[in-house]
Structure 1
Amino acid sequence: MLDAAIKVFAEHGYRSSSMDAIAKQAETSKPMLYLYYGSKEELFLACVTRESGRLIDTLEAQIAPDDSPKLRLKKVISSFLQFVESNADSWNVVYRQAEAEPPFRQTVTSTRRMFIEMTAELLKRSTSDTYSGEDAELIAVALVGAGEAVADRVANKEVDQNAAAELVVQLSWGGLAGTNSSPLPRETP
């Protein structure tokens, strides 16, 4: 049912999708759909929750402590963009539609926060520079934001996923290699 719902939501958007269309796509009855998911809102939230979890699990599976820092970065970025390419409907539902709808925005924000924390932790463990927690988080915010923008282009088939992954790895690794070990300067108010 969730796969059918994602397909319908991706095609028509959350607001324009009907439980009738989702039931038809799922080859089930509308009452059965309501039995499992009490409302369209609950069904959409179930889609967002499942797909967010799948993406997080995919990325966490790529983090191997024995890999070199650059290989870790490459594996995470590549698996992220492969997931988006293979699950473009999920990406569009989870990250674009859910973010635009107030009832679901918090779920997207929580997932993004997990990506940022995961990235900041990778930065702290993967670079020879010593980043404060604040600096690592700020760099992670920039990397995650850039990754989401590239993912949108991959999901819309505007760019080749493999070429995009390689470019993002080069940009990220080159940028990180160019930093020095002193913390970022802070302005005092």
Structure 2
Amino acid sequence: MLRSLYAWTLSLAARKAAAAWLALIAFVESSVFLVPADVLFLPMALARPEKAYRYAFIATAASVAGGIAGWMLGYYAYESFAKPVLEFYGKLDTFERLKSHVTEEQLGLLLVTSGLAHLPPIKVVTILAGVVRVNLWHFILSAIVARGLRFYLLAFLLRRYGEPIQAFVEKRLGLILAAVAIGLVALYVAYRLVAG
């Protein structure tokens, strides 16, 4: 099922309404969808590099809006809607572990790491932010920074290097962003040890 969903998402890049599909995929990825918006963003930005930053803006704005929807699902509809979605994707155990231990400060860090490198998946963190009642404005600011950084970095790389960078982006960018996310976590832990 996941492979066919991935292939369907990729096929949307060739459509006339690809920008609208990008917005929709980026929106639902942040709250309930499994396939990342990058799957659609990459071929679109490669096909029309002059529009890469426009696509980055669309993906960022829609992803932040989807994150707000995820926050609202966690805040207002966890039991009735969000919990079954997390259970469907097999993320409920991860969610419950995070929920029982996370502080608002740690959640801010998770928003950045999930927005940059999908660690943990963004939908888990957006719903969690609503459940634990993270300040909505702090949440939005973190989402703008993390998602914007990811999509604008992709746009820059694809505009600057074009198709030769595609294999690097698809295979290694996730690892690099994951390393950055781990570095942020390490800095946070070091800060907490020194401060506390």
Q: TM-score, with normalisation over the residues of structure 1?
A: 0.40
| Larger of the two Rg values belongs to structure | 1
